[in-house]
Amino acid sequence: MRALLLLPLFAGLVCTAIWVAVGLTGDDEFAWLNGWVCGPFLVLAGLPFAFTRGLGGIFGGLPKEFHGAPIGMGTVTGVARTGLVVNDQPQLEIQLRVDTPEGRSFASSARQIVDLTDLAAVQPGATLPVRYLPDGRVVLATDAPQHELQAALNRVQLAKGWMTPNQLRIAEQGVEGSALVLSMTPTGQTGDGRSEVRLGLRVTRADGTSFDVAQDKKLPPVAVGQVQPGMVVRVRYLPHDESEVAVVTSLVP
């Protein structure tokens, strides 16, 4: 009986490994599983480690008080093992700085069982979706569908000033394309640790033609290495207004 109960878990972990491997190529509908994207910069939310959905079902899911709680974005500030191990997978105490769609920020922590192969998803600097309560308690939002995570991440960045209303419109209504990074010039750093850079991009349209655009961006540290000159990045843009694009990057280190 115990073996039968664990079969869905093992199957889920195998599927997750396949999805992540495919996601790393960036050429598939499951590419968002490789991490989140962000942007003043864009925000297409995807759970950095989808396996937690399956674990949540086997180990009890979200506590009842978190059902329907609002979603915020938690930046990992520290990680420690609690000593609990379930099926050889450690439980982690994940320290977080949580930002809410209302513009509030607070420190909190969440406990989660994490597969050893997915530890990179919870390293300091990574961004994880959480459900939070008025008293500051949080849990990882392993139950939320992608569109709900997308909307929450967009609103958090808008509230923090990392995204303008026009950039939000690009994120929600823009078409997808690719862009070659022509140049990346650091211009400063924000008070919250983001890097200010000026990007030169050559964007390829769906019909194969291209246009150049230069933009100032405020990037989280994990995104800087993904926009180096010569790299090709995913973007969104409005066909009737190509003066600004949203760049897609992973929020997982």
Record the pTM: 0.65
168 lies in some domain: no
Q: Rounded to whole angstroms, how far apart are CA atoms 178 and 161? A: 25
Q: CA–CA distance from 103 to each of 131, 154, 159 (Å)? A: 15, 12, 5
In which domain, by residue range, is 131 found?
2-25+48-144
Higher pLDDT, 107 or 60: 107
Beta strands in 87-174 (DSSP E): 89-99, 105-113, 127-132, 138-140
β-strand partners of 127: 75
Strands 89-99 and 105-113 come out as: antiparallel
Tokens matching residue 251: 């929020």
Q: How many domains does the chain have?
A: 1
Q: CA–CA distance from 59 to each of 71, 108, 133 (Å)? A: 21, 22, 21
61 lies in some domain: yes
Question: pLDDT tens across 2-18, in order?
Answer: 343 344 333 443 343 33
**Residue 38's CB: how many other CB atoms inside 10 A?**
29
136 lies in some domain: yes
18 lies in some domain: yes
Question: pLDDT tens across 111-166, in order?
Answer: 988 888 777 778 888 888 999 999 999 999 988 888 788 788 888 888 988 778 88
